[in-house]
Structure 1
């Protein structure tokens, strides 16, 4: 009995942790193969690939981002291979499996909840013509009926599940998803985890063994999928210390964690200050700073403590910090969301992720959708379009704000230019992005993609229409931001280049002057002058740009200043060049 495990990942670099667990749990007793595709592939092509396998059973892992396409693939596959048995599993089919099967006749079985034990028992019964009624967690067809068996209890001893990474084959250049625990200690009403059990842990010995395997395999990124990685402080700290002790020297990699910042102890924060730049990144779910909203969604958070922790984590500039907000939560109208946005943005995280509420099947907010007058898409991802507090028009404004935030804020290509605009022309960050979104929509720039260089010109255009003060000063800031991101000897036409008299001769003397290199570029001392030239740029600015970015004031006089940009050893979190003022 040939069994194929498959799914449609959202991107090629993603990989399915769930399927690897099931394969590992069952492969000693059954013939199991695993194939992964993406939602960017045509359904016809996926069907053709699956058909060529001629499997007896094909099991799909289903989520809100792939369920519609999976159902299309399943329907087509059954037409060309009617004898194949189709099984679905995963969070998107676990809540209402009977309805899913009633609406999709091509689906023969559904597994609800954790799938390792259930899937193995299912294969065992099926291979022996046994009684499927004894398989807990299984939904199946019997004649014209759909039978839903009793639910399966969660697995208490997680170490019973074999490693999903016995082999690292096929995972080259992909993100590795990993969990050190299952479940969630919180009960947030927008999340499916609110319906699950309390937290269960894999043993620390096993976790360390797996992490060491990833380090030795030279993977680039490991994403912990634990809902709250630091719900156990001492355990989290031990894992952090283990990763630091075993940090690889021969390749770059990083570890991503979802954490609750206000739970971090002073001991953990002090330790994290010593972690090398970029080795860890944290995603912190704030969601809202409206106290009434937080109470309604059962989200426990001390924003004052969270703010203190975020500032302390950011101070060493060594850890990427992603802070999340959700638009569309109960009692959060446009003004309230503006406040939440400003509260979080003013913490200056590396990334402010503006998400939109999705009414996931089984979540508390989905159950209470009428109370909050939610209007949402009937098909996945069930995104909220309007609510009692937010009109569809306001949601569209927030969507445009999200786009310009991603383009100009979270990209970090325009950090000084954006902060200059915010501090001099707007009362709050939200007001600035609201204006930028208005400009973006009016010009129609949201309709197509753009080259990076064009975005600098568009921001210049926005400044001249909405700010209209010291335009030449702002142009110098734009030039500074552009050069921080990349070496660009030939500046674009919309930016001014101020030539130093006899520049080529002075530049040549500089890179050949050992004393000057020792003073300004000591890390390049072992390079030849030709090699040094390729790693630096010297540019003249009409104003003392270092004073400008120190205070972000428009009240400055012309003061031609020469800046050295060093691209050799980008040591900042956002891969910016090092810079300093020089005299040549």
Structure 2
């Protein structure tokens, strides 16, 4: 019997951890193939690929981002290969499997919950007695009926599951997803993890063995999918220390963790300050700072402590911090969300993600949707459009704010320019992004994509319409932001240019002067003058940029300043040029 595991990942660089677990658990008894596709591929093409496999059973891993296309593919496949048996698993089908099978006659089986043991038992019974009634966690068809077996208990000893990464084949240039535990200690009502009451751990020996495998395989990124990586502080510190002790010296690599910041002890924070730049990334879920909202969603958080921890983690500038907010939570109206946004933004994380609540099947908020008068999309991803505290119109405004936040904030191409606008013309960051969103919508810029060069001009346009003061200074800051991020760029016409007298000969003298190169560009001393020229750019500013960025609200007078931008070794998390003032 030929068995195929498959799924539609959201991006090519993603990989399915769930399917690799199932394959590793079953392959001592069964020959199982694994093929991964993406939601960006045409359904017809995926059907053709699956048909060529001529499998007897195809099992699909289902999530909110792929369920609709998966069902379309299954329906088409059954038309051309009617004898193939189709099994679904994953969170999107685990909570209403009978309804899913009633609405989709092409689906033959569904596995609810953890799939390793259930799938293996399913294959065993299918290939021997055919009696599926004793396979816990399975839903199946029998004659004209749909039978749902009793649920399967979770796996207590996770080390019983063989490594999903016994082979690294096919994972080149892909993100590796990894878990050191399953479950979550919290009970957040918007999350499926609230349906599991405890945390189970893989042994530290097993975890370390797997991590060493990734390091030796020269993987670029490992993402821990643990819902709260640091729920056991001592254990998380031991893993952090292990990763630091084994940091590869022959290739770049990073590890991404979802953590609860207010659980981090000062001991762990002190240790994390020693981690090399870019080696760790932290995603921290804040979701809201409204105490009533947090109580209703059963989320425990000490925001004062979280803020303290984030500031301490930010100080060494060695770990990328990604903080999350969710719009549409209970009792969070527009003004309350404004406060939550400002509370988190003032922590200046590397990324502030403004997400929108999804009423996921099986979650507490989905069960209580009528109580909060939720209006949401009936099809996946079940995104909230409005509730009794926030209107659809306001949610649309937040959508536009999210777009300009991504474009001008999280991109980090405009850091100094955005902060200058905020500090000089707005009471809060949210107010600034609200105005920028209004401008973006009025101009219709949200309707299409843009070249990066155009975005600088659009921000200048916004400034001229909404700020109308200190325009010449802002133009200089915008130019500075552009030069920090773009190697050897020609300045656009809307940016002011100032020439140093006899610039070409002075610049030539500078790059040919060994003492000057040693002082200003010590890491480039082994390069020829021609090579040095390719790695740097020199521009003149009418105002002293250093004075401006040290105090955005300070009155600035003309003070011509020449700045050297060094693109050779961008030793910072944001990959920006190093810069110094020089005297040509």
Q: TM-score range by the shorter chain?
A: over 0.9
**How far apart are the structure 1 equivalents of 2:212 and 2:292?**
44
**How far apart are the structure 1 equivalents of 2:54 and 2:579?**
60
Q: Which residue of 1 aligns with 2:577?
A: 577
1:130 Cα shift? 2.8
1:553 Cα shift? 2.4
Q: Which residue of 1 aligns with 2:357?
A: 357
Q: Map residues 265-414 of structure 1 onto 2, 5 A cutoff.
A: 265-414=265-414
Q: Retained in 2: the 8 A contact 1:424–1:554?
A: no
Deviations 1:473-527 (A, max 9, x none): 1010000000000123421111122111111111111111111111111111111
Q: Which residue of 1 aligns with 2:499?
A: 499
Partner-residue secondary structure (3-state), 1:55: coil
Q: Which residue of 2 aligns with 1:83?
A: 83
Q: Which residue of 2 aligns with 1:415?
A: 415
Partner-residue secondary structure (3-state), 1:518: helix
Q: Which is further off, 46-55 or 496-505? A: 496-505
Give the gaps of 5 or more residues in structure 1.
none
**How far apart are the structure 1 equivalents of 2:532 and 2:389?**
58
**How far apart are the structure 2 equivalents of 1:101 and 1:90?**
14
Q: Which residue of 1 aligns with 2:248?
A: 248
Deviations 1:328-357 (A, max 9, x none): 000000000000000000000000000000
Q: Retained in 2: the 8 A contact 1:122–1:135?
A: yes
**How far apart are the structure 2 equivalents of 1:259 and 1:554?**
38
Q: Retained in 2: the 8 A contact 1:218–1:251?
A: yes
**Off by >6 Å, runs of 4+ in structure 1:** none
Instruction: Figure out how many residues of one structure are paired with residues of the other and give that number.
Output: 584
Q: Map residues 421-500 of structure 1 onto 2, 5 A cutoff.
A: 421-500=421-500
Deviations 1:533-580 (A, max 9, x none): 111111100100110111012621111100111111101110010111
Q: Map residues 191-202 of structure 1 onto 2, 5 A cutoff.
A: 191-202=191-202
RMSD over aligned CA atoms reads: 0.7
Q: Which residue of 2 aligns with 1:219?
A: 219
Deviations 1:461-483 (A, max 9, x none): 00000000111110100000000
**How far apart are the structure 1 equivalents of 2:197 and 2:220?**
32
Q: Which residue of 2 aligns with 1:264?
A: 264
**How far apart are the structure 2 equivalents of 1:555 and 1:155?**
65
Q: Which is further off, 479-488 or 317-326? A: 479-488
Q: Map residues 488-567 of structure 1 onto 2, 5 A cutoff.
A: 488-553=488-553, 555-567=555-567
Q: Retained in 2: the 8 A contact 1:470–1:554?
A: no
Q: Which is further off, 550-559 or 191-200? A: 550-559
**How far apart are the structure 2 equivalents of 1:272 and 1:60?**
39
Q: Retained in 2: the 8 A contact 1:327–1:357?
A: yes
Partner-residue secondary structure (3-state), 1:132: coil
**How far apart are the structure 2 equivalents of 1:491 and 1:381?**
43
Q: Map residues 6-45 of structure 1 onto 2, 5 A cutoff.
A: 6-45=6-45
Deviations 1:160-179 (A, max 9, x none): 00000000000000000000
Partner-residue secondary structure (3-state), 1:537: strand
TM-score, L = length of structure 2: 0.99
**How far apart are the structure 2 equivalents of 1:100 and 1:244?**
46
Q: Retained in 2: the 8 A contact 1:327–1:356?
A: yes
Partner-residue secondary structure (3-state), 2:92: helix
**How far apart are the structure 1 equivalents of 2:29 and 2:183?**
28
Give the gaps of 5 or more residues in structure 2.
none
Q: Retained in 2: the 8 A contact 1:63–1:90?
A: yes
Q: Retained in 1: the 8 A contact 2:488–2:534?
A: no
Q: Which is further off, 521-530 or 105-114? A: 521-530
Partner-residue secondary structure (3-state), 1:94: coil
Partner-residue secondary structure (3-state), 1:139: strand
Q: Which residue of 1 aligns with 2:92?
A: 92
Q: Retained in 1: the 8 A contact 2:488–2:536?
A: no
Partner-residue secondary structure (3-state), 2:105: coil
Q: Which is further off, 545-554 or 462-471? A: 545-554
**How far apart are the structure 2 equivalents of 1:536 and 1:114?**
54
**How far apart are the structure 1 equivalents of 2:66 and 2:490?**
45
